[in-house]
Structure 1
Amino acid sequence: MMKHPSVSAPQDRITIRHVAKDAGVSIAAVSKVLRNAYGVSEVLRNKVETSIEKLNYRPSVAARGMRGRTYTIGVLVIELSNPFLAGVIESANASLSESNYKSLIGIGRSASSIEASMIESMIDNRMDGVLIIAPRISGKVLERYARQIPIAVIAHHEPHAQTYDTINSDDRKGAHLAVEAALRQGYRDIAMLSYDLLDSPASVVAVQREMGYLEGMKQGGLEGKIIRLPPVAADRSTAIKNFLTSQHRPRAVFVWSDLDAVPLLNAARTSGVRVPEDLAIIGYDNSPPAAIPLVGLTSVDQNAAQLGRTAGEMLLSRIDGREHAQHVLIEPHVEMRGSV
């Protein structure tokens, strides 16, 4: 009876041993060709490369890592629903690509345990470095991993960290600028819409923005008022409606992020609250939706392109051997639109 050919099982994956046997050379000889070692003859190189092509052999990332760089970078983000992050990731990836690095993206889902597990996987897979955006894990945990692999972190304020680099918008100053923009427009009753921080440390961007808001209000001779939405990942829609219908609704509001500012503006307009005639709104991130003419949200711009590019460059310099930590703050500005 004729046997039908079967699909190779995962354990039948072609290895360096198969290549060596097919080429009629030693495993050490194949290894020399793969790592482009000095002194490899053209005859040997041709033999090995012919067998590699014939057998469709692909060296494992982990195996390449044991010989040197893998030219892969792990990019860890908490989630991809924030449209602002796309510009950061694209810019960082472009910076890394210029040095022939490939980026592999992992999503932490706003859970510190998942983030820690993903960093460990990136280390196990011999990646050359890790770029982390808005982590939920603590600075202590980052310090521990940074002793094992070069790490650069965006949206995490830890200016005294010694083992990893941080790249941030100057969130404190950005919030201060938002208050100044509202004051220039003549508003005095200015609240901040934040969320339940659940004892978050000062490294969290929302904490920095709250500090900046309070400083800006104090400098303007006003008392600050922070109104809190439910925690991150919770449904905010009911809380936003309650804010809009409150008898004590402020005349102007600075929202910690466009993630809540855009839904607030939309809810206001659909419920008959005029923007800015009844309620002026300023967001933070200057995300792509904020710039849509039908939205027209005034927002603090973090310069996503510069954040990503700087982070990529700093991570590469870490990989190249720099040991002293660098902590960069990028100057924000307010992009004025029709919501104020």
Structure 2
Amino acid sequence: MSIEDKQKLQRNDRVTIRTVATHAGVSVAAVSKVMRNAYGVSEGLRAKVTDAIDALGYRPSRAARGLRGRSFTIGVLLIDIRNPFLPEVIAGVNAVLAPSHYQAMIGVSDARVQLETSLIESMIDYKMDGLILVAPRLPSEIIAKFAVEIPIVAVGYHDAAATAFDTVNADDQRGAEIAVEALLAQGYRDIEMLSLGEREGHAVSVVRQREIGFRRAMQRGGLGSSAPIVKIPVASPKREDAMRKFLGRKDRPRAAFCWSDLDAITLLSLSVEMGVRVPDDLAVVGYDNSQTAALGLVNLASIDQSGRELGQVATRTLISRIEGRSDPEHILQIPSLVSRNSLIRSGNSTDTKQR
């Protein structure tokens, strides 16, 4: 910094974090990351910011530092906005926050780790008090590093060994078992599961947990531990093409359990297009019990994991973290089946629940 610039600083306002950012040629968010020793900061960036702080004699004000943890704002990060399960989770979050001093700020990401990481860092930079991550794709060790900086609860993320952050889930293994048991109870023995491709899930994801439950229930029903699981691509039109191929198979199974209503509803639509009668030719059970599943023209039997309740429990759990709890909590809720015409022909009971 030139002598003239230093004299200007002495004559005018005190040095702020924005002054440091301008001097270092970086963003305010970058300065914030260096100052709180955030995960992923490069040595080059750290050196730039540190040199600027030393040159300017910057000292963060106590008032600004005191604001950390006092914004009464909770960040909610969603990964796949297409999923009809998410509005129920958000409704549960808002139901808990409405009578409190907190409010939710929602961020939408996708399956790219870099974008997900960037959004979490931004929420931290905006001094949010805590984060609810819904079905995050990040490795547990990275979430744990963020959890050192800010309280975190992960929903749809089965890592019961995590100590730095909490998890709130439906018991997805049990949910898949309930679906298979319902199909077996209706006399179906030729059952396959429609799941996501290998690259779209990870060991702690709901997808893989549901696969485990499916195989376990099939084995318990005497149908073998290597029960067929059909991997469906995420992106259109490959997704629909894969389902058409499934429906057009000569050896098509008599019943299908879909990992999500997202695919189950598409499967029902394509069945109508291809002349496959549901449930006469193919029984279908989905997962999430979305509002669309309950529509009369859809009538999809589905596993209800009560997204609203998950959102409520996750929010209460996060607030207890913010207020000082340090012991990890890993909460599992038992889902139930809502039986509709895609499983049972009309004339029998519909919209009935069983656990």
- Normalising by structure 1, we get a TM-score of 0.79
Q: Distance in 2 between matches of 1:270 and 1:67?
A: 55
Q: Distance in 1 between matches of 2:243 and 2:341?
A: 20
Deviation string 1:33-55 (CA, Å, 9 cap, x unpaired) is xxxxxxxxxxxxxxxxxxxxxxx
C-alpha displacement of 1:284? 0.6
C-alpha displacement of 1:225? 0.9
**Are 1:326 and 2:329 counterparts?**
yes
Contact in 2 for aligned 1:156/1:166 (Cα 8 Å): yes
- Look up the match of 1:222: 223
- Look up the match of 1:337: 340
Q: Distance in 2 between matches of 1:117 and 1:250?
A: 43
Contact in 1 for aligned 2:74/2:131 (Cα 8 Å): yes
Q: Helix, strand or coil for the counterpart of 2:119?
A: helix
- Look up the match of 2:346: none
Q: Helix, strand or coil for the counterpart of 2:149?
A: coil
C-alpha displacement of 1:65? 5.9
Q: Helix, strand or coil for the counterpart of 1:73?
A: strand
Structure 1 stretches of 4+ with a deviation exceeding 4 A read: 62-65, 231-234
Q: Distance in 2 between matches of 1:215 and 1:258?
A: 21
Residues 141 and 267 (structure 1), Cα distance of their counterparts in 2 relative to 1, 3 Å cut? same
Residues 104 and 235 (structure 1), Cα distance of their counterparts in 2 relative to 1, 3 Å cut? farther
Unaligned runs of 5+ in 1: 1-14, 16-61
Q: Helix, strand or coil for the counterpart of 1:281?
A: strand
Contact in 2 for aligned 1:64/1:70 (Cα 8 Å): no
Q: Which amino acid aligns with 1:338?
A: N
Unaligned runs of 5+ in 2: 1-12, 14-62, 344-355
Contact in 2 for aligned 1:65/1:126 (Cα 8 Å): no
**Are 1:277 and 2:280 counterparts?**
yes
Contact in 2 for aligned 1:132/1:154 (Cα 8 Å): yes
Q: Helix, strand or coil for the counterpart of 1:166?
A: strand
Residues 67 and 310 (structure 1), Cα distance of their counterparts in 2 relative to 1, 3 Å cut? closer
* Percent identical: 47
Q: Distance in 2 between matches of 1:138 and 1:216?
A: 28
Q: Distance in 1 between matches of 2:144 and 2:334?
A: 26
- Look up the match of 2:92: 91
Contact in 2 for aligned 1:275/1:281 (Cα 8 Å): yes
C-alpha displacement of 1:236? 0.6
- Look up the match of 1:242: 245
C-alpha displacement of 1:235? 3.8
Q: Which amino acid aligns with 1:329?
A: L
Residues 77 and 68 (structure 1), Cα distance of their counterparts in 2 relative to 1, 3 Å cut? closer
Contact in 1 for aligned 2:68/2:129 (Cα 8 Å): no
Q: Which amino acid aligns with 1:179?
A: V
- Paired residues in the alignment total 280
- Look up the match of 2:190: 189
- Look up the match of 2:258: 255
Deviation string 1:15-69 (CA, Å, 9 cap, x unpaired) is 9xxxxxxxxxxxxxxxxxxxxxxxxxxxxxxxxxxxxxxxxxxxxxx94863650
Q: Distance in 2 between matches of 1:65 and 1:282?
A: 51
- Look up the match of 2:155: 154
Residues 158 and 194 (structure 1), Cα distance of their counterparts in 2 relative to 1, 3 Å cut? same
